């Protein structure tokens, strides 16, 4: 029997996990764990966190029996890979739970921006049904969609784009010419994509090479009047550069499901913690606040993954990951 910690769970998930993993001691937490909390769970051999529980060196050190980190997400930037490797801790993720789910949310944001849905809704909520130039959107048909990162989610975005009769440009260091031919898109450099795309959407992983992939230097290349959508990771975009691009009119709008400092502002009570002040970038917090007050920005709370079907797939894959590891045949490894 293994002790397994699950963080950030809903009630129905606890019942489901209890049914599927009856032979283990399961610890269920509804909130994220902070670094100082892990010592309480020193017996844990497996931790199955979501994205708001940072598994850093301090957390790993506080768990002497830890053997597996089974993150319930595709991304793993909340895990210190180097510290885990030194300790010999295995890491696995959920690679394919929501390519259609996140892609659909991406298109919800694109359509909301292109047709001024939020502004229209706010106006009618006030009882004003007047139509004027401020609510005038733009057609997607015939426009150029630029996709940064063409993995499983990006590919699904391409398929939907074809239904809108859009031309698709893709920037991805790992070019697949057969895939491009099959789906009907063209690989280009990042600079070319920024110069030509009317809609830019990010679907890349966050790591040392991709942090601030969009920054003050290359965002100057963006086609004037383009819109930007990010349902991947907030750190892919330099927040202060994004604010500037919106302020000077280079970008006409942004749809964001992720923010660069979102983990720091998840709960107001975290501001009271000394750990908060060690990691927070106050300039980005201010920039995020500015984004939230802009009429040309739509922000959703890292909700792109959140469909009934996708959440169930996340749990099922996590259960499979844990069972496979404990049986000696690990799957979905993060290396």
Q: Which pLDDT tens digit goes with each residue over 193-235?
A: 999 999 999 999 888 999 999 999 999 999 999 999 999 999 9
Domain count within the chain: 2
The parent domain of residue 266 ranges over: 99-299
Q: Is residue 67 part of a domain?
A: yes
Q: Is residue 189 part of a domain?
A: yes
Task: Note whether 171 and 88 are same-domain residues.
Answer: no
Task: Note whether 78 and 139 are same-domain residues.
Answer: no
In this prediction, residues 80-88 reach a mean pLDDT of 97
Task: Note whether 250 and 129 are same-domain residues.
Answer: yes
* Alpha helices (runs of H) in the chain, residue ranges in sequence order: 11-20, 57-61, 81-87, 99-114, 117-125, 152-163, 177-183, 190-196, 239-247, 274-279, 282-293, 308-326
Q: Is residue 280 part of a domain?
A: yes
Q: Is residue 182 part of a domain?
A: yes
What pLDDT was estimated at residue 122? 85
Q: Is residue 334 part of a domain?
A: no
Per-residue pLDDT at 253 exceeds 90: yes
Task: Note whether 202 and 151 are same-domain residues.
Answer: yes
The active-site residue out of 24, 203, 233, 250 is: 233
Please list the residues that pair with 230 across neighbouring strands. Answer: 202, 256
The active-site residue out of 13, 45, 99, 262 is: 262
Task: Note whether 146 and 246 are same-domain residues.
Answer: yes
Q: Is residue 335 part of a domain?
A: no
Instruction: Write the CATH number for 41.
Output: 3.40.50.720
Judge whether 262 counts as a catalytic residue. yes
What pLDDT was estimated at residue 280? 66
The active-site residue out of 72, 156, 203, 302 is: 302
Judge whether 302 counts as a catalytic residue. yes
The sheet carrying 68-70 orders its strands as 25-28, 3-6, 46-48, 68-70, 90-92
| Cα torsion through 287, 290, 292, 294, rounded to 10 | -140
Q: Which pLDDT tens digit goes with each residue over 265-320?
A: 444 334 444 555 566 676 777 788 889 899 999 999 889 988 999 989 999 999 99
Task: Note whether 250 and 139 are same-domain residues.
Answer: yes
The mean pLDDT of the chain is 92
Q: Is residue 313 part of a domain?
A: yes
In this prediction, residues 155-181 reach a mean pLDDT of 98
**Beta-carbon count within 10 A of 61 CB:** 14
Task: Note whether 316 and 275 are same-domain residues.
Answer: no
Q: Is residue 331 part of a domain?
A: no
Predicted structure pTM score: 0.80
Task: Note whether 105 and 82 are same-domain residues.
Answer: no
What pLDDT was estimated at residue 264? 56
Task: Note whether 190 and 318 are same-domain residues.
Answer: no
Q: What's the pLDDT band for 34 if we cut at 50, 70, 90?
A: confident
Task: Note whether 248 and 175 are same-domain residues.
Answer: yes
- The mean-pLDDT minimum among 30-44, 71-85, 244-258, 271-285 falls in 271-285
- Cα distances (angstroms) measured from residue 163 to each of 108, 153, 156, 160: 14, 16, 11, 5
Task: Note whether 214 and 320 are same-domain residues.
Answer: no
Q: Let me know the angle formed at the C-alpha of 282 by 278 and 285, rounded to the nearest 5 degrees.
A: 120
Q: Let me know the angle formed at the C-alpha of 318 by 314 and 323, rounded to the nearest 5 degrees.
A: 150
- Take residue 266 and report the two structure tokens written for it: 């998840």
What pLDDT was estimated at residue 282? 60
Task: Note whether 270 and 295 are same-domain residues.
Answer: yes
In this prediction, residues 32-57 reach a mean pLDDT of 92
């Amino acid at each position: 029997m293994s002790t397994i910690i699950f963080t950030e769970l809903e009630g129905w998930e606890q019942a489901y996990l209890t049914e599927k993993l009856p032979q283990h001691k399961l610890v269920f937490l509804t909130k994220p764990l902070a670094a100082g909390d892990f010592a309480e769970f020193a017996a844990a051999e497996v931790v199955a966190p979501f994205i708001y529980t940072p598994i850093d060196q301090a957390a790993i050190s506080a768990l002497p029996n830890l053997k597996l980190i089974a993150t319930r997400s595709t991304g793993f930037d909340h895990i210190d890979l180097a510290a885990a490797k030194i300790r010999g801790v295995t890491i696995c993720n959920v690679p394919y739970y929501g390519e259609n789910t996140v892609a659909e949310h991406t298109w919800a944001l694109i359509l909301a921006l292109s047709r001024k849905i939020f502004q229209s809704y706010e106006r009618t909520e006030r009882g004003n049904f007047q139509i004027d130039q401020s609510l005038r959107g733009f057609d997607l048909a015939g426009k150029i969609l630029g996709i940064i990162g063409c993995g499983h989610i990006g590919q699904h975005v391409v398929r939907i784009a074809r239904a809108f009769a859009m031309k698709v440009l893709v920037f991805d260091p790992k070019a697949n010419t057969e895939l491009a031919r099959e789906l009907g898109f063209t690989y280009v450099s990042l600079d070319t994509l920024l110069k030509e795309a009317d809609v830019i959407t990010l679907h890349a992983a966050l790591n040392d090479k991709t942090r601030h992939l969009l920054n003050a230097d290359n965002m100057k290349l963006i086609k004037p009047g383009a819109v930007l959508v990010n349902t991947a990771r907030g750190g892919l975009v330099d927040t202060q550069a994004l604010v500037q691009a919106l302020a000077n009119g280079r970008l006409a709008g942004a749809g964001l499901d992720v923010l660069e400092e979102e983990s720091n502002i998840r709960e107001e009570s975290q501001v009271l913690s000394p750990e908060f002040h060690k990691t927070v970038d106050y300039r980005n917090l201010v920039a995020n606040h500015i984004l939230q007050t802009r009429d040309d920005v739509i922000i959703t709370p890292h909700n792109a993954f959140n469909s009934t079907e996708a959440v169930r797939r996340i749990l099922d894959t996590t259960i499979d990951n844990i069972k496979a590891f404990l049986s000696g045949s690990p799957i979905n490894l993060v290396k």
